[in-house]
Structure 1
């Protein structure tokens, strides 16, 4: 339940609330992702409640009505810190829930000491009412009997409540509050974006719990919710998603405090969760606190290919030959359960079609170390270097390994591939102990190097250093780089171009997506940068004919990122949405085939907060001919 999750978040220091553990009943420790999700929910609600109390502090009396309050601790928290000296709190929920809460308060000394009784209607500043919200006439009657005054400043709170009601009934509550009260605010916290991949998993989760999110079909986004309140009689209405709230309404030192509480490596899932929840404040006679940002996108279309065995994320796919794609590592499905992937996967193009091949290990006793968020770089037709990666976010990063392949495919068995795993001597290991980094092939004075840049480690949440790794000797070479370098980042993309490295996007030290493209090139005086508006991370990227293709990822906009084409000469950006379900374009890999102008998207997905896990079922082939031709 939400009460248990909030209590777990409080126990880990995310929320300062000593009453949650008393109201939650049973205790259970949740994952860091769940803690962050309930932290931002609690902070958004608390921010708006305090804003209301601040604006009305000169009034002799105010009141708060919490609809569907459940076992929430709002009253106890505010009373404990002295913020209810002239405010009455009314909590409304089903009669059985209200009775259970009243009994819990009565038998819990710390709670009853603040309330002073069992939480009945006769108390001065706390009224606990058992009413079905869908019965509006009964709700109004019960509130009036308990002393609700329609002429003093009033705040209504509906925290993931109205969406469970039929839209006609929830709309009636919204209209009634605006119609009956002269000075009133409404705080709504709910889900949105039902049609993208995360949203569909979210809907399925609640449907399976017999708690259908009814409002999503009619009110799918911030704009629709805003129109809803204006049409129901509210004169002011502002709304923002949780990414924007965390960025704009949470002080930087508080952001850093939360980010340091636990080992964390689920950035995509965190930001996607935040993009699917909003906080809305509407008012009549009182002003809202902020304004929303609502960007727009355009469209493009994909084509599916039916191949199994690639339901995973945090992996790496690389074109090891013109007709062969090797995928290594990640977390996903293997042998019927979720785990870090132990086996290699190969796609082979035969007779014009991609098919899954069979991978033979040259030395079966040498096991793949089940790494995530690593890189694989081909240094020749028969040789690739694996760099970095991790097992657990709290474990040290992994080092380097060679992957060797036969020079030619066996003509008699074109679907068989042999892979030999060879350990690397620890000479350059220190630079490789990271994950979510990039390795890019560059040239300097006729020699080939891998430019190892950024990422994170168990000790550092974001890295900004780099290393030029000589591909023949596997030694870090000192090569001077002039001018200022890019800021620290991880989960960025990096492409080889004109002998240099193009670094795009990523997640910075403040856990904010970055919107810059840096170009490192020999004889060009170090890094040169430009910016693009679609800040993102956890994407993939490719360069073709002077165009940088940014594929998928996570950003803070309301839509899902598709493909952004950046003209590297003019800086012009054009965005295309990939409108397909069930496809999550983060934590994925992609391979670009320039001759065919085809993009193969492999794997991707992840945990959808507490709603379940979605892993892309099969590779998707995108034809980019029309997009590239238009540029």
Structure 2
């Protein structure tokens, strides 16, 4: 088998994986599809992240198909309609439409590689429920040893044909009764991108010229140039299924031009974040979000987003890989990282493997680890001291880190993760302010707690003013003896763009919302620091902008904001700025970024391999 044949085999294997995912999707209540399990063998459980990805994909396709067919039933004099599904695989579209009564004046043609079509036809013939629903075979439709036809009934044709061979495809469609003059919906669900660019262009141009009245529905990956897109490209390359279309059509504008250049009269497009928010009701979104415990928000939104990359931000430097965790911690302690204040959203502490906890410095050598989770259903209980005495001569090779549990008298009263922690002052007493987050029961939390840092006891302090919306995955940092709370995800999983100040008052604290101009783009999973009277928001995830989050600077005196992009020319690419930790080094006038990235089961895994520093010296006010 040559390279072309091997690539075709790899592309065909994506059908098997996709079919199993759709089967799992239906089994867990995301969609109604009793036929998915009849078309495949076995039903492995997929991860919630995969379920969500396939759910929004399925809903987008169904929205277009149903809108197309509704016109056929509402217009009595309109001719019968046709659906031509290209690269259909083992999808159950025909059977779902048939049982719902949508094919009284319509028919479905499906095309895929001959081997895939033959296996699907055998499955239909061997499954009484499917064969009975399809109805008796048509004897008048041309078939034979050289025919592409694999299965035919009154309203269904299944063809085995290579989409790269357009003359053979046209002949096969015409031989099985497709009418080029009838209203036709062409569906290509993650198909054209696997074709070489010239083959895909030829297919679009042929369809535009062949059909007199047609609608082409395309579901395809975009955004190859941002960090998440780069990981996606590498993932499919490793599977020997390269995404050919991405280089030429990387964004919505390019996709529009692609169709217009091929002769189509109009084209509109949305990314899946837009579809999920704009086309599905709040009630339906809430139903889906309650089906399973879910905690992969960053990968979910990135997977659905249209992303671009551009611009620059000062100078960027990259360190080589540290030889060990000890040497990395040695660098941190050498610069007094734990003594710079604030909460660091570090992950994967070796104590018990917790995620999404906070780490707050109590001294140059002592850090408090609070909250986090062991799994989406298991909160991490207990608090830990992370102790790292600075060795003589500040020799990183002799650095020793010890972990010990905080006594039961300081047990956190409300376990959570994706929360924030910041040091505040009230009547000259130091407190750790813990706010927001989520747990296995509540998708978001809006409460707060105060830990007296000298006695390590939880206390109640009065807090006045209108409370912020409940949130998780936000940022918090200390400022003027209070705390700044920025962004996060709301109960509806919508990124927030608000900035709140927990302001010290005579007998406690008061909430104050800071009005920023221009308003910042809503975001979450970012980090924050105050430097020289300016609030710095580093990275994160957003869905309301086509660019990649860099660094947002808010002047806390004027309340004016500016967006800066990061020039990554001098760091290993891709650089993912979510699920990271950033540490302010005020004397060096730098930000140190550690970690970042994540595990997306559909597109691959990436974690930033190197610490990175950002030079922020130009942000210091001139004296």
Q: Under a length normalisation based on structure 1, what TM-score does the superposition of the two structures give?
A: 0.86
**Offset at 1:322?**
3.3
Q: Which moved more, 1:415-424 or 1:599-608?
A: 415-424
Does the aligned pair in 2 maintain the 1:310–1:603 contact within 8 Å?
A: no
User: Which residue of 2 is the match for residue 111 of structure 1?
Assistant: 130
User: Which residue of 1 is the match for residue 357 of structure 2?
Assistant: 374
Match of 2:404 among 422, 433, 439: 422
Determine whether 1:51 maps to 2:67. Answer: yes
Determine whether 1:610 maps to 2:602. Answer: yes
Q: 1:167 to 1:520 in 2, by over 3 A?
A: same
Determine whether 1:560 maps to 2:564. Answer: no
**Aligned equivalents of 2:185, 2:421: Cα separation in 1:** 53
Q: 1:586 to 1:395 in 2, by over 3 A?
A: same
Does the aligned pair in 2 maintain the 1:297–1:575 contact within 8 Å?
A: no
User: Which residue of 2 is the match for residue 356 of structure 1?
Assistant: none
**Aligned equivalents of 2:471, 2:524: Cα separation in 1:** 9
RMSD between superposed Cα atoms in Å:
2.6
Task: Please state whether the residue corresponding to 1:171 is helix, strand or coil.
Answer: helix
Does the aligned pair in 2 maintain the 1:606–1:613 contact within 8 Å?
A: yes
**Aligned equivalents of 2:310, 2:364: Cα separation in 1:** 39
**Offset at 1:128?**
0.8
**Offset at 1:591?**
0.7
**Aligned equivalents of 2:237, 2:429: Cα separation in 1:** 58
**Offset at 1:123?**
2.3
Determine whether 1:589 maps to 2:619. Answer: no
Match of 1:254 among 271, 275, 284: 284
Deviations 1:32-55 (A, max 9, x none): 111111111111111111122223
Does the aligned pair in 1 maintain the 2:85–2:187 contact within 8 Å?
A: yes
**Offset at 1:372?**
1.1
**Aligned equivalents of 2:72, 2:316: Cα separation in 1:** 53
Task: Please state whether the residue corresponding to 2:175 is helix, strand or coil.
Answer: helix
Q: 1:414 to 1:205 in 2, by over 3 A?
A: closer
Task: Please state whether the residue corresponding to 2:275 is helix, strand or coil.
Answer: helix
Determine whether 1:32 maps to 2:48. Answer: yes
**Offset at 1:463?**
0.6
**Offset at 1:444?**
1.0
User: Which residue of 2 is the match for residue 149 of structure 1?
Assistant: 179
User: Which residue of 2 is the match for residue 451 of structure 1?
Assistant: 433
Determine whether 1:16 maps to 2:32. Answer: yes
**Aligned equivalents of 2:30, 2:228: Cα separation in 1:** 25
Deviations 1:158-207 (A, max 9, x none): 00101111111111211222222232111100111112222122112211
**Offset at 1:414?**
4.6
Deviations 1:247-300 (A, max 9, x none): 111111111111111121111111111126xxxxxxxxxxxxxxxxx9996332
User: Which residue of 2 is the match for residue 506 of structure 1?
Assistant: 488
Does the aligned pair in 1 maintain the 2:231–2:574 contact within 8 Å?
A: no
**Aligned equivalents of 2:57, 2:432: Cα separation in 1:** 43
Determine whether 1:85 maps to 2:83. Answer: no
Determine whether 1:70 maps to 2:89. Answer: yes
Q: Which moved more, 1:619-628 or 1:235-244?
A: 619-628
**Offset at 1:461?**
1.4
Determine whether 1:394 maps to 2:407. Answer: no
Determine whether 1:549 maps to 2:540. Answer: no
**Aligned equivalents of 1:223, 1:627: Cα separation in 2:** 35
**Aligned equivalents of 2:451, 2:291: Cα separation in 1:** 34
**Offset at 1:380?**
2.2
Q: 1:34 to 1:121 in 2, by over 3 A?
A: closer
Task: Please state whether the residue corresponding to 2:528 is helix, strand or coil.
Answer: strand
**Aligned equivalents of 1:189, 1:583: Cα separation in 2:** 27
Match of 2:238 among 200, 203, 208: 208
**Offset at 1:517?**
0.8
**The structure with more helix, counted as a fraction of residues:** 2
Match of 2:117 among 77, 81, 98: 98
**Aligned equivalents of 1:12, 1:318: Cα separation in 2:** 48
Query: How many residue pairs were aligned?
Result: 577
**Aligned equivalents of 2:81, 2:394: Cα separation in 1:** 82
Structure 2 spans left out of the alignment, 5+ residues:
1-16, 138-148
User: Which residue of 1 is the match for residue 140 of structure 2?
Assistant: none
User: Which residue of 2 is the match for residue 362 of structure 1?
Assistant: none
**Aligned equivalents of 2:35, 2:136: Cα separation in 1:** 17
Deviations 1:209-254 (A, max 9, x none): 2211000111111111111112222222111111111111111111
Q: 1:463 to 1:412 in 2, by over 3 A?
A: closer
Does the aligned pair in 1 maintain the 2:346–2:359 contact within 8 Å?
A: no
Q: 1:397 to 1:227 in 2, by over 3 A?
A: same
**Aligned equivalents of 2:540, 2:454: Cα separation in 1:** 33
State how 1:23-422 maps to structure 2 within 5 Å. Answer: 23-57=39-73, 58=75, 59-117=78-136, 122-275=152-305, 298-300=311-313, 302-308=316-322, 322-323=335-336, 340-342=348-350, 368-406=351-389, 408-411=390-393, 413-422=395-404
Q: 1:571 to 1:151 in 2, by over 3 A?
A: farther
Q: Under a length normalisation based on structure 2, what TM-score does the superposition of the two structures give?
A: 0.87
**Offset at 1:379?**
1.9
Deviations 1:402-449 (A, max 9, x none): 23343x531273543333433223344343511110011111111111
**Aligned equivalents of 1:607, 1:382: Cα separation in 2:** 32
**Aligned equivalents of 1:242, 1:451: Cα separation in 2:** 37
**Offset at 1:328?**
9.5
Deviations 1:57-111 (A, max 9, x none): 3134111110010111000011111111111111011122111111110000111
Does the aligned pair in 2 maintain the 1:64–1:90 contact within 8 Å?
A: yes
Does the aligned pair in 2 maintain the 1:243–1:271 contact within 8 Å?
A: yes
**Aligned equivalents of 1:318, 1:459: Cα separation in 2:** 39
Match of 2:564 among 573, 576, 589: 576
**Aligned equivalents of 1:95, 1:405: Cα separation in 2:** 64
**Aligned equivalents of 1:507, 1:530: Cα separation in 2:** 19
Deviations 1:336-359 (A, max 9, x none): xxxx552xxxxxxxxxxxxxxxxx
Q: 1:328 to 1:248 in 2, by over 3 A?
A: closer
**Offset at 1:625?**
2.6
Structure 1 spans left out of the alignment, 5+ residues:
277-293, 332-339, 343-367
**Offset at 1:565?**
1.3
